[in-house]
A and B are shown apart, each in its own frame.
Chain A
Amino acid sequence: MNVLVYLIPASLLLGGLGLAAFYWALKHGQFDDPDGDSQRFLSRDYDDKPKED
């Protein structure tokens, strides 16, 4: 059972990383135009990030 000592913090850390990544994406406008983003990859224009606002 000693394995729990680092497995539980590890699982919390990984979850926390996911949350932080989500927070970053939210702040940087990744969810501003979901419909457009799903279509844009079909276009030939170089376009890898949403427009800065």
Chain B
Amino acid sequence: MPDAPHMSACPACVAAPSAEQVARARREAEKEGARIMLSLPTAHCAACISAVEHGLEAVPGVRSARVNLTLKRASVDADAGVTAEQLIEVLKGIGYEAHELDASSLSMTETDRQGRALLMRLAVAGFAMMNVMLLSVAVWSGASDATRDLFHWISGIIALPAIVYSAQPFFAKAWSALRVRRLNMDVPISLAIILAAGLSIYETSQSGENAYFDAALSLTFFLLGGRYLDYRTRRVARSAAEELAALEVPRAQLVSGETVPVSELAAGDLVRVLPGSRVPVDGVIVEGHSELDRSLLTGESLPVAAGPETVVSAGEVNLTGPLTVRVTAAGKDSSLHRMADLVAVAETSRNRYTSLADKAASIYAPVVHLLALFAFIGWYMATGDARLSINIAVATLIITCPCALGLAVPAVATAASGRLFRAGLLVKNGTALERLAEVDTVVFDKTGTLTMGEPEADDLSRHGREELAVARALAEASAHPLSRALAAAIAAMGTAPADVEDIREVPGHGVEGRYRGRQVRLGRAEWLGVRAVTGTATYMQLGEGPAMAFTFTDSLREGAKEAVEELRKMGLDMILLSGDSPEAVAAVARKVGIEAWEAQVLPADKAARIAVLARSGRKVLMVGDGLNDTAALASAHASISPASALEAARVVSDIVLLGRSLTPIAEAVQVARAATRRIKENFAIAALYNAVSIPVALAGFATPLAAALAMSFSSICVSLNAMRLIRR
């Protein structure tokens, strides 16, 4: 497939390395062959760690293996001969799902400089806060005169450098907001810190009674805590987004046998597409017969026959025979990218969503500044004492405490996305949880989402043993999904393959061979010259006898039924939209229990249907995986895609399902609703607290001790409230 489409749902995706970089880095890494990184979405306990590590270390050539449970990753040190595919097989054997990751593109996240710098600032602020607090306790408990001044001076000597170092992130952000004449949360925070420190120095030099060094530091400390939580949540999402990007490297094989990045292809080049691989470009087949799986692009579950002059699109999967394709459009011009344009238009609506935190900040910042200003003017007019008035104004600024507000959202978001990550869901977008909580309608895609996109043979008992034995022998000779499903189903019944000779695959048609002197064929209806039955089927003919049909249905994805049931219990409406045929869609709808369904929906119509729902006041959650869902995913109020989805679909989704099962979707909605409730509760706690403290501060009764107590109390309250999310 072409290089990563540059349509970014979030800053994290912008930071993710481009596919070309990944490809280049991987080529270099292959030469050294030293470290292999694997993603382990299902690892979760001590037993998993030992099982995986021992399992990997038992592989010859592996020097050491280490699991990182926080990132759900394993890094393996191995000799050059060891391949990731080999290790993935080993892990599959002991029951763990694993995907290869591109080690070189992940190295950036491993040494996470920004996170460490933030943590260091947090530590410095904490250290300084504790020391200053120690000295302040002495002052509050009655130190006076020279002792008090000495303590204030020492506090100042500790506090000033600590603030200059630790509070830099706030100053930087406040400054960048002020430069474009806007107000954000960092402006009142920076102002409170600077004024508190400045006033304290002045008061200390005047042998004043009140110094707010401890308040300035605890403000910095608590808010840095919130900032760090926020950063960590986004980092997990970003590193996982990189992981997903590292899963696919777009390369194409030229007819000459050379493998090149798709971005280097030009129209007119001849590309070879082997069975089982994805068509990397848009083009026209010049040689070869095969069948194409278009499900990711159109949602059709039936493979389509292809031969010379058939037009192919990037993203389709070649099933049976090798094809030579003449490139008509690669990279930026391919259909994948045209789909990206559709997405870019749809996305703007989502970017307009204002998060609860932004709403709170836009009310909070002006109110606080006005209050402080009124306090100063009021007291100055009443007393004529500028020093007292400034003292009270600053106390008001400090005590209105953006702490609780600064922690209210990050603490909840961290707890919620942490819990979802453990359940196998990756929250990519900052406002995703809030939007997900508002959802009242869920739209599902069929192929690849509710179903695995893998066919399953229907009841085989009506066929004779001999027929089944022949069918198995023929089916085993082909890599076509229907053949594989048929062979697996017959093998599961315990029927051994018959002795069929001269088996030969006819690309694009089927398999033929000789059985007891008769010609036997298994393949498409047109090839055998019989009439096709409805639904997915393959046909077999023994000699001149009548052809028989083996029918298939797409097997449901694990947890699909449970997820639908849970969502219904929560009162959500569900709709199934698919590009597939009505029979196939109706069957799946009946199986999972969705009443409303529509078949043969074109990609643009999916997005249009969602727009119609949105206009009628519905908030839609779109769950889909294909290119035909991409526009719908982007235009829906919230969106989820499975990890098996096409990259374009994952990029525009808010949440990615890391495991195979769909059950976490219901949990995601529950957690999102709980998280939004907690955020609102936290705002209520902060508001209640301000309702008490502001009058006290305005009346001039706020002492540094009261400020310190109130600040810690409200911060701890909101953090504890957020913690309730971690467990049910």
Q: Are A18 and B49 in contact (CB under 8 A)?
A: no
Closest Cβ of chain B to A35, distance in Å, is 4
Q: Could you tell me the distance between the alpha carbons of A1 and B75 in the complex, rounded to whole angstroms?
A: 58
Q: Are A36 and B69 in contact (CB under 8 A)?
A: yes
Q: Mark B115-150, 1 if CB is under 8 A from A, else 0.
A: 010011001100100110011000000000001001
Q: Are B131 and A36 in contact (CB under 8 A)?
A: no
Q: Mark A1-35, 1 if CB is under 8 A from B, else 0.
A: 10010001001100110110011001100011111
- Give the dominant DSSP class at A's interface: helix
Q: Could you tell me the distance between the alpha carbons of A49 and B116 in the complex, rounded to whole angstroms?
A: 19
- Cross-interface CB contact of A36 among B49, B64, B110, B123, cutoff 8 Å: B49
Kindly list chain A residues whose C-beta atoms are within 8 Å of the C-beta of B363. none
Q: Could you tell me the distance between the alpha carbons of A40 and B50 in the complex, rounded to whole angstroms?
A: 8
Q: Are B68 and A12 in contact (CB under 8 A)?
A: no
Q: Could you tell me the distance between the alpha carbons of A49 and B135 in the complex, rounded to whole angstroms?
A: 37
Given A19-B123, A22-B123, A45-B50, A36 and B68 touching (CB < 8 A)?
Answer: yes
Q: Mark A31-52, 1 if CB is under 8 A from B, else 0.
A: 1111110011011110000010
User: Is B70 an interface position by the 8 A CB rule?
Assistant: yes
Which A-chain residue is minimally distant from B66 (CB atoms)? A51
Q: Are B131 and A15 in contact (CB under 8 A)?
A: yes
Kindly list chain A residues whose C-beta atoms are within 8 Å of the C-beta of B130. 15
Q: Are A23 and B123 in contact (CB under 8 A)?
A: yes
Q: Are B68 and A33 in contact (CB under 8 A)?
A: yes
User: Is B158 an interface position by the 8 A CB rule?
Assistant: yes
Q: Could you tell me the distance between the alpha carbons of A33 and B49 in the complex, rounded to whole angstroms?
A: 12
Q: Are B46 and A43 in contact (CB under 8 A)?
A: yes
Q: Are A12 and B158 in contact (CB under 8 A)?
A: yes
Q: Are B49 and A43 in contact (CB under 8 A)?
A: yes
Q: Are A1 and B131 in contact (CB under 8 A)?
A: no
Q: Are A19 and B124 in contact (CB under 8 A)?
A: yes
User: Is B154 an interface position by the 8 A CB rule?
Assistant: yes
Closest Cβ of chain B to A33, distance in Å, is 5
Query: Total interface residues on B, using CB and 8 Å?
Result: 29
Closest Cβ of chain A to B417, distance in Å, is 14
Given A15-B130, A53-B110, A34 and B70 touching (CB < 8 A)?
Answer: yes
Q: Quick one: which of B69-84 are within 8 Å of A by CB?
A: 69-71, 75
Kindly list chain B residues whose C-beta atoms are within 8 Å of the C-beta of A42. 46
Q: Could you tell me the distance between the alpha carbons of A33 and B69 in the complex, rounded to whole angstroms?
A: 6
Which A-chain residue is minimally distant from B147 (CB atoms)? A1
> How many pairs of residues, A versus B, come closer than 8 Å at their CB atoms?
58
Q: Are B124 and A26 in contact (CB under 8 A)?
A: no
Kindly list chain A residues whose C-beta atoms are within 8 Å of the C-beta of B68. 32-33, 36
Given A18-B127, A53-B111, A31 and B119 touching (CB < 8 A)?
Answer: yes
- Cross-interface CB contact of B131 among A12, A35, A45, cutoff 8 Å: A12
User: Is B67 an interface position by the 8 A CB rule?
Assistant: yes
Which B-chain residue is minimally distant from A53 (CB atoms)? B110
User: Is B45 an interface position by the 8 A CB rule?
Assistant: yes
Kindly list chain A residues whose C-beta atoms are within 8 Å of the C-beta of B66. 51
Closest Cβ of chain A to B10, distance in Å, is 24
Kindly list chain B residues whose C-beta atoms are within 8 Å of the C-beta of A43. 46, 49-50
Q: Could you tell me the distance between the alpha carbons of A26 and B123 in the complex, rounded to whole angstroms?
A: 10
Kindly list chain A residues whose C-beta atoms are within 8 Å of the C-beta of B45. 39
Closest Cβ of chain B to A8, distance in Å, is 6
Q: Are A39 and B46 in contact (CB under 8 A)?
A: yes
Q: Could you tell me the distance between the alpha carbons of A38 and B577 in the complex, rounded to whole angstroms?
A: 44
Q: Are A11 and B46 in contact (CB under 8 A)?
A: no
Which B-chain residue is minimally distant from A42 (CB atoms)? B46
Closest Cβ of chain B to A42, distance in Å, is 4
Q: Could you tell me the distance between the alpha carbons of A44 and B46 in the complex, rounded to whole angstroms?
A: 10
Q: Are A35 and B70 in contact (CB under 8 A)?
A: yes
Q: Could you tell me the distance between the alpha carbons of A43 and B52 in the complex, rounded to whole angstroms?
A: 12
Q: Are A19 and B127 in contact (CB under 8 A)?
A: yes
Closest Cβ of chain A to B372, distance in Å, is 32
Besides A33-B68, A43-B50, 19 other A-B contacts (C-beta < 8 A): A4-B150, A8-B154, A11-B131, A26-B119, A26-B120, A27-B116, A31-B119, A33-B70, A34-B70, A35-B69, A36-B67, A40-B46, A42-B46, A43-B49, A44-B50, A45-B50, A45-B53, A51-B66, A51-B75
Kindly list the 10 A-B residue pairs having the minimum CB-CB distance in the complex, ordered from nearest: A36-B69, A42-B46, A39-B46, A35-B69, A35-B70, A51-B66, A19-B127, A33-B68, A33-B70, A43-B50
Which residues of B come within 8 Å of A, CB atoms?
A: 45-46, 49-50, 53, 64, 66-71, 75, 110-111, 116, 119-120, 123-124, 127, 130-131, 134-135, 147, 150, 154, 158
- Could you give 9 example pairs across A and B, Cβ below 8 Å? A19-B127, A23-B123, A33-B71, A36-B68, A39-B49, A39-B69, A43-B46, A44-B50, A45-B53
